[in-house]
Structure formats: structure tokens, C-alpha cells
Amino acid sequence: MALVSDFDKYFLHLPKISRPDDFEKFWQSAINELKKTPIDVQYVHNKRKSTGKFSAYDMTYIGYGKIQLFATLYIPDKITKPNVVILFHDYDDLESYAQFPIDLPFAYCFVELRGHRNIIHYDQEQNKYPGFMTEGILEKDEYYVKGLYLDGLRTIDALRLHNDLDCSKIAIIGKGLGSAVALFTTSNCNRIVALVLDTPSFCYLDKAQNIAKSVIANEINSFIDEHRSKKSTIKKNLNYFDALQFINAVTCPVLTIVGFKDSLSPAECVFALFNHLQCDKTIEVYPEEGHGAGGIEQQKRMIEWIKNVMV
């Protein structure tokens, strides 16, 4: 059982945030570049995925770097122009929200992180990883996470083109790395009115890279071990993508979930993120649970929380 001192340590944790001098210029240039790429969104009805209350659509569209993106959209059959909840799964885990309890009155868009369409779940014990988290890491303009973050904004662009949706108010849920995507998207889009950070990762990287036992940390650390002369370049580049950097631009209500026994998204890093938020914020703590903190019941509470914020 966590001690009172553990709670105190986490709630008082407020590490300094230091942005690169050209941080704003870098991201504004990236967003401007994204706008030049046609969206080319397509929706195909999927009877197999449809339910008694929702019609499902396989959704494809074009993201940053002209990469094809994939999502599944569920639209309620008897609600006119519903608001949308967008969900981003965790890295190397397409099944993060496979059993998510979708419920009225929202539409739901489950986004596949770029590159995840054809991968299998990799075995850390055999040192096998997807490899995306080091793709382009030596040059920030070519880094995988740059495109990944911009895919969040592109998803909203694509959904806005659907005539049966009301995208004036959007909620976003992110799991692990998906939380970092959700946070970036929220910081750059005023349509987001509710944000759920579900055991968020890729935040407070100076600490996370030393204590996290995740695929992400292992990929990056293994790459650094093989390219020791590039360590300072890698750390400098990662500073543009640390989720902590986008905190100050978030103004909507935020719900954060954390498990004290989470080795993938360490509580110390999650609280570093939460403590820096300057908006209406709530954190749900699971002292005896890990990365799956709260399970399906927590997912149900996410939707209830979003309803209270949006409806």
C-alpha cells in the first residue's frame, strides 16, 4: 500500500520546463506544412463492426508526410449531428480500447497510430520492438513523433468534413503515448472541450527515460547505447516532443488516470504532467494498480466525466 509520503512526493513534484528557443517556430511551421496536404478522407460503412445503436465506418485519410491514416468511426443511429470523442491507443498496443464501452450521445473515432496497421505486439524479453520511436530521431524534422502529433490535428480536419457530425465541441481520450498525441492536439485546437489522459507517457522524458520499463524507453535507450556520440543530439531533439512542453496551452477540463505500480507510465512522470496543468483538472489515483489502472470501469467513468463536461 502506498504511504502518505508517496502521495506528498508526487503531488509536490513540479519539475522545471525548458523549451528550445525555436519551439513555437518549429511547430507552427510543421502545422503550416500539414495544411498543404490534401485530406482525401473516405468513409466506408462496415456492417460487421456496427452495433444495435451505432453504425460503424472504416475511415481513411492522409496525414503529415502523405502517410495514409486509419480510424474506425461509430455514429449513433438515432442522434442528429452528435459531438465526437476521439481515442488514441497506446504505442505497440492496438487493443488499448478494444472493449471500450461506447455510449450515447456521442460519436466515437478510434484512431490507429501511424505505422501500427500491420505490426504485431512485440516481445520485450526478446528485445524485439516496432522501432518507430527512433525513426528519424537524429533529425527533429524527420522524427516519427512529429508526424504522429500532427495526425491528431489531421484527424479533426477529416472529421469536420463529415456532414453528420458536430465538431464544434470535441473530447479526446489518449492512452500512454496516445495521451501525448491528445495533449498536443488539444494545445493546438480550440474545439477540444474535454481531455482524458489515461496513464499518459512520453512526458518528463529526462526522468522517464531512466525509470520507465516501456517499449518506448527501451527503444530509445537501446538506440542511444548504439549511438553514444549522438546522445546529446537525441536529448535535444526529444525536448521538442516531450508532452510537458504543451501543458501551458491547455485550457479545457482534464481528467488524468494514474497507477502507482505503473512501470510503463511512472507515477512520478504522470504527476509532473498533472501538476503543471493550469486548467480545471481531476486525477484518479490507483495505488495498487499499473498501466491498466481502473480497467473497464474507469473507461465508463471517462464517458460519464465527458458527459458532465460537454452535455
Name residue 87's beta-bridge partners: 110, 173
Indicate whether 133 pLDDT > 90.
yes
Query: Cis peptide leading into 105, omega within 30 of 0?
Result: yes
Q: How many CA atoms lie within 13 A of 240 on its CB side?
A: 25
Per-residue pLDDT of 78-88, as tens digits, reads 999 999 999 99
**Cβ pair 208, 235 in contact under 8 A:** no
Condensed to tens digits (0 to 9), the pLDDT of residues 259-294 reads 999 999 999 999 999 999 999 999 999 999 999 999
Q: Tally Cβ neighbours within 10 Å of residue 287.
A: 15
Class of residue 235 by CB neighbours under 10 A (exposed 0-12, middle 13-18, buried 19+): middle
State CA 99 to chain mean position distance: 18
Dihedral angle sign, alpha carbons of residues 124, 130, 135, 140: negative
Q: Compute the Cα dihedral for 273, 176, 130, 32 and give only its sign.
A: negative
Helix or strand (DSSP H, E) at 11: helix 4-11
CA distances, 267 to each of 14, 26, 111, 227 (Å) = 13, 30, 26, 29
Domain ranges of the chain: 4-310
Assess whether pLDDT exceeds 60 at residue 148. yes
Beta bridge partners of 110: 72, 87
* 233-260 pLDDT, tens digit each: 999 999 999 999 999 999 999 999 999 9
Q: What is the pTM of this model?
A: 0.93
What pLDDT, on a 0 to 100 scale, did the predictor assign at position 6? 66
Query: Taking the domain 4-310, which CATH number applies?
Result: 3.40.50.1820
Judged against a pLDDT cut of 60, whether residue 2 lies above it is answered with no
State CA 185 to chain mean position distance: 9
